[in-house]
Amino acid sequence: MTELLYLEDLAAGQTFATRTATVTADAIKAFAAQFDPQPFHLDDAAASESRFGRLIASGWHTGAISMRLLVEGEMRIAGGLIGLGGDLAWPRPTYPGDTLRVESEILEIRVSESKPDRGVVTVRNRTLNQHGDVVQLAIVKILVPRRPPP
Amino acid sequence: MTELLYLEDLAAGQTFATRTATVTADAIKAFAAQFDPQPFHLDDAAASESRFGRLIASGWHTGAISMRLLVEGEMRIAGGLIGLGGDLAWPRPTYPGDTLRVESEILEIRVSESKPDRGVVTVRNRTLNQHGDVVQLAIVKILVPRRPPP
């Protein structure tokens, strides 16, 4: 069991890893049927005629898989991983069979002025495929509690 | 059938609506079990002891539902809704029973310099609940083709 991290445990430059997850064509189609029903996410034949040339995962699917990896990864924040928002980019698609992982780096730490029991931490989460290509770059702000007084 | 939109059909200030979707507690838990397995998304009792005080949807679930609404909404872009990335914020949680819809506004249109057959359009997508509260604010860049020559 990884120890839970409080604001005092974090510093700019720290990095955290996750396990990997392999994305199947069936998973890509199932997510798309529920949340992003566009031909290039749903159907191999239609995808081959799209600008992508083959089936690709919804960006929201890549994001959701990344979240799963983060929740189970090394960066165990006390109180959970609570994102306030951030900047998101999908520089390359996720394809069937891709094996994804997330590398996180702490960029900035700010104690809240209005609520001194917590802080806002800026984290860069890069989701990488098996070739080391970035399929999602997320610079996010997360809420991190300070360690309670003993 | 809504007519497909090309770059020439878009102008800053245009707005587009979607239908609504109601989010059930079961859907929140099912999404969380797959993609964001944290207590405040998975279990009513655990959520009542969290900082949120009750069950809330994963932000990625709110994002995925918003995508579904957009794909089926009024803003039918030729070639599909292809997001390159953007800024994302979750100002308030989505709760069980909330009814969401998305309001979109075109903010900026730029023809690609390197690829003159397309442009990048900046869109503000606001996901609203039944009270008119914004549960997701997404300023996204999407790829939009120019109308092909006749």
Q: What domain range is A107 assigned to? A: 7-145
Give buried/exposed letters for B14-46 (b at 16+ CB in 10 A, else e): bebebeebebeeebbbebbebbbbbbbbbeeee
Residue B47 lies in a domain: yes
Instruction: Identify the residue among B36, B123, B142 best suited for mutation to test binding to A, counting A beta carbons within 10 A and taking the highest.
Output: B36
Residue B112 lies in a domain: yes
Confidence (pLDDT) at A51: 87
**Are A16 and A74 within 8 A, CB to CB?**
yes
Residue in A35, A84, A89 closest to B68 by CB: A35
Identity of the residue numbered B129 = N
Residue A116 lies in a domain: yes
Residue A56 lies in a domain: yes
Q: Give me the interface pTM, i.e. the ipTM.
A: 0.95
Side-chain-facing half-sphere of A82: CA atoms under 13 Å: 20
Residue B30 lies in a domain: yes
* Inter-chain residue contact B85 with A88, CB threshold 8 Å: yes
When divided into structural domains, chain A yields a total of: 1
Residue B150 lies in a domain: no
Average pLDDT over residues A87-101: 97
**Interval B54-84: pLDDT, tens:** 999 999 999 999 999 999 999 999 999 999 9
Instruction: Identify the residue among A68, A81, A94 best suited for mutation to test binding to B, counting B beta carbons within 10 A and taking the highest.
Output: A68
| Statement: the pTM of the whole predicted model exceeds 0.80 | yes
Q: Which domain CATH number covers A81?
A: 3.10.129.10
Is the Cβ of B80 closer than 8 Å to some Cβ of chain A?
Answer: yes
Side-chain-facing half-sphere of B27: CA atoms under 13 Å: 18
Confidence (pLDDT) at A149: 85
* Statement: residue B88 has pLDDT above 80: yes
